[in-house]
Amino acid sequence: MTLAIETHGLSRYFDDFCAVAGIDLKVERGTFYGFLGPNGAGKSTTIKMLTGLLAPTKGEMFVLGKNMSDQREALEAKAKVGVIPEDLALFDNLTAREYLTFVGRMYRVPKETIRSRIDELLPLLGLESDEKKFTLEYSHGMKKKLALAAAVLPNPDLLFLDEPFEGVDAVTSRVIRDLLAHYVARGSTVFLTSHVLEIVEKLCTHVGIIVKGELVEQASLDALRQGISLEERFLEKAGADAEPVQKLRWLEEGTA
């Protein structure tokens, strides 16, 4: 079994606050890994550390077999990784085509290949009619689609996607799901975070659940569900109170 992502005791503190508490991730190659957790659980912090956007406080991490703590190996790993970061990472004053060309060249993709891939990606993601706009004129959903195009353009072995479906319309969402399904089917790996459990349930083969910085579950989707829905299992693992929410008497009584 070869691992696409492997961490040992990966932790991140912000002053005294522990955002990620020594997690041991194991993501096999060729899997579609959904990384779930409530708000503030440490999902984005983990993805930032794995992609090199944030330094861990302690612990080890290996991406595609490369030690990310080693500067030289980190660059080798980055050459095979595509990322949609949390706040995206677009240059305001470039058009979509210019930005994608820039990204492609950063990954040393041949120019002709870049051109043909852009010509396929822009219409596929519905950005063709807006390709002359600067990215600062894009809506959030359009920016997200452009970031996805940039992530897949170098044809990486591993994709890190932080909330890729947030703010994206239903049509494009379908396109992205199909695209990612084909991508995994050929043997590549996707590591994604999402709040939309239905999408995770449809797409992912493996799931990790992080709560308050701790990895509380990591298994294949089937092993995790054990006959119940992912949502129920997630709520159980996330520690949602089984008791009914205590009634807010002042809310029931009307305006004060």
Partner 1 sequence: MNWHHFRTFVWLRWRLFVNQMARGGIANTIILAILGSGVVMLSLVLLVGSFLIGFLALPKAPPLALLLVWDGVVVVFILSWCAGLMAELQRSEAFALDKFMHLPVSLASAFLLNYFSSLVSLTMLLFAPVLVGLSLGLTFGKSPVLVVQLPLAISFVFMATALTYHFQGWLASLMVNKRRRRTIIVVVTLVFVLIFQVPNLINIYQPWKGLEGEQMQKESAELTRALNAKEITKDEFKKRQHEILRDSVARTRKFWRDAEEWAWIANVALPPGWVAIGASSAAEGNPLPGLLAMFGFAALGAASLWRAYRTTLRIYSGQFTAGGRTPTPVAAPNARAPALPGTRDVGLVGWTLPWISDEAAAIALAGFQSLVRAPEVKMLLLSPIIMLVIFGGLLLRGGVSEAPDMVRPLISFGAIAMMLFTMGQLAGNQFGYDRGGFKNFVLSPAPRREILLGKNLALAPLVFGLATPLIILAQVFLPTSIDLMVAIPFQFVTMFLIYCMLANLLSMFAPMPIASGSMKPKSPRMIPFLLTMLFVFTLPMAQGPTLLPLGIEAALAALDSTYGIPICLLLTVLECAIVVFLYRLVITWQGWLLQSRELRILEVVAAKAE
What the block records as the tokens of 61 is 């991490």
Task: Please say whether the beta carbons of 118 and 97 come within 8 A.
Answer: yes
Pick one of 9, 58, 116, 139: the residue that binds partner 1 (CB under 8 A): 116
- Give me the 129-168 binding string for partner 1, x by CB under 8 A, dash otherwise: x----x-xx-------------------------------
CA R_g for the chain = 20
Pick one of 21, 89, 179, 219: the residue that binds partner 1 (CB under 8 A): 89
Q: How many residues bind partner 1 (CB under 8 A)?
A: 48
Pick one of 58, 75, 220, 239: the residue that binds partner 1 (CB under 8 A): 75
Contacts of 242 (CB under 8 A, 6+ apart): none
Number of H helices, E strands in the chain: 10, 11
Mapped onto helix, strand or coil, the DSSP state of residue 67 is strand
Task: Please say whether the beta carbons of 21 and 211 come within 8 A.
Answer: no
- Give me the 5-44 binding string for partner 1, x by CB under 8 A, dash otherwise: ----------------------------------------
Residue 76 in contact with partner 1, rule: CB under 8 A: yes
Residue 51 in contact with partner 1, rule: CB under 8 A: yes
Contacts of 95 (CB under 8 A, 6+ apart): 131, 132, 133, 134, 135
- Of 155, 191, 145, which Cα lies nearest the Cα of 29? 191
Beta carbon of residue 2, minimum distance to partner 1 (angstroms, whole number):
20
DSSP element (H, E) containing 82: strand 81-84
What the block records as the tokens of 92 is 């305001």
Residue 185 in contact with partner 1, rule: CB under 8 A: no
Beta carbon of residue 180, minimum distance to partner 1 (angstroms, whole number):
19
Nearer to partner 1, 98 or 201 (CB): 98
Beta carbon of residue 137, minimum distance to partner 1 (angstroms, whole number):
5
Pick one of 9, 69, 120, 229: the residue that binds partner 1 (CB under 8 A): 120
Task: Please say whether the beta carbons of 41 and 212 come within 8 A.
Answer: yes
Residue 179 in contact with partner 1, rule: CB under 8 A: no
The stretch among 34-42, 122-130, 190-198, 222-230 that binds partner 1 (CB under 8 A) is 122-130
Question: In the Cβ-directed half-sphere of 134, how many Cα atoms lie within 13 Å?
Answer: 5
Residue with tokens 């470039």: 94
Q: Note the residues at the interface with partner 1 (CB under 8 A).
A: 51-55, 71, 75-81, 83, 85, 87-94, 97-99, 101-103, 105-108, 111-112, 114-116, 118-120, 123, 126, 128-129, 134, 136-137
